[in-house]
């Protein structure tokens, strides 16, 4: 039976870095579910049709890490039909043997509510804005505005709002080095697998 790790949290909290590190450490498959929504948003046209036609190759687009793709992802993720079209894609991935790590905003609450480990990764707004600005070579103040706008939209949407699962372990990475955050996440998973 596959072992599933669900990682949720806002943009630039460190959830993607932790997900990749955990997948490598445990030999699990990894899916950045935000790429699904970024790809749907970047494809243009009718987002419901784009979600229904989405192929794994669409996740290889070079423009999916841009701020524009992130904003587009947040907009299309609020459409219930888009979320429904991508639900099975994600659940099939979560069943990958010997295990899978999925990161996003509703993994522990909607996609994989029975995941063996659920982490909610967060960090302060200013730290996240600084991280994203460095990653994208963008203005930090602009990143802060965009992150706050996106967080507000993702937290109040009617379908699958961004929030920690009731049984998630919250990991605040604001004052942690990458190595310390990874070590803590590995410790949490190993405790459950023991």
CB 123 within 8 A of CB 12: yes
163 annotated ligand-binding residue: no
Closest Cα to residue 86, out of 41, 38, 37, 158?
A: 37
CB 173 within 8 A of CB 13: yes
9 annotated ligand-binding residue: yes
| Count of Cβ atoms closer than 10 Å to residue 172 Cβ | 16
14 annotated ligand-binding residue: yes
Q: How far apart are CA 43 and CA 58, in angstroms?
A: 9
CB 94 within 8 A of CB 115: yes
| Count of Cβ atoms closer than 10 Å to residue 184 Cβ | 16
42 annotated ligand-binding residue: no
41 annotated ligand-binding residue: no
141 annotated ligand-binding residue: no
69 annotated ligand-binding residue: no
124 annotated ligand-binding residue: no
* Tokens linked to 116: 């063996």
12 annotated ligand-binding residue: yes
Annotated binding site for ATP: 9-17
Annotated binding site: 9-17
């Amino acid at each position: 039976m596959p072992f599933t790790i669900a990682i949720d949290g806002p943009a630039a909290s460190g959830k993607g870095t932790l997900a990749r590190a955990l997948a490598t450490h445990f030999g699990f498959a990894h899916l950045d579910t935000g790429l699904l929504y970024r790809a749907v948003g970047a494809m243009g046209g009718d987002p419901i049709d784009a979600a229904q036609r989405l192929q794994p190759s669409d996740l290889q687009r070079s423009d999916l890490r841009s701020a524009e793709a992130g904003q587009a992802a947040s907009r299309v993720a609020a459409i219930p039909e888009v979320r429904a079209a991508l639900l099975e894609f994600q659940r099939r991935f979560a069943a990958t043997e010997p295990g899978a790590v999925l990161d996003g905003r509703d993994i522990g609450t909607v996609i994989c509510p029975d995941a063996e480990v659920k982490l909610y990764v967060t960090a302060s707004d200013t730290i996240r804005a600084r991280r994203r600005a460095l990653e994208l070579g963008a203005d930090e103040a602009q990143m802060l505005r965009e992150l706050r706008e996106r967080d507000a939209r993702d937290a109040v949407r009617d379908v699958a709002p961004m929030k920690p699962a009731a049984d998630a372990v919250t990991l605040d990475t604001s004052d942690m080095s990458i190595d310390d955050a990874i070590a803590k996440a590995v410790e949490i998973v190993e405790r459950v697998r023991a």
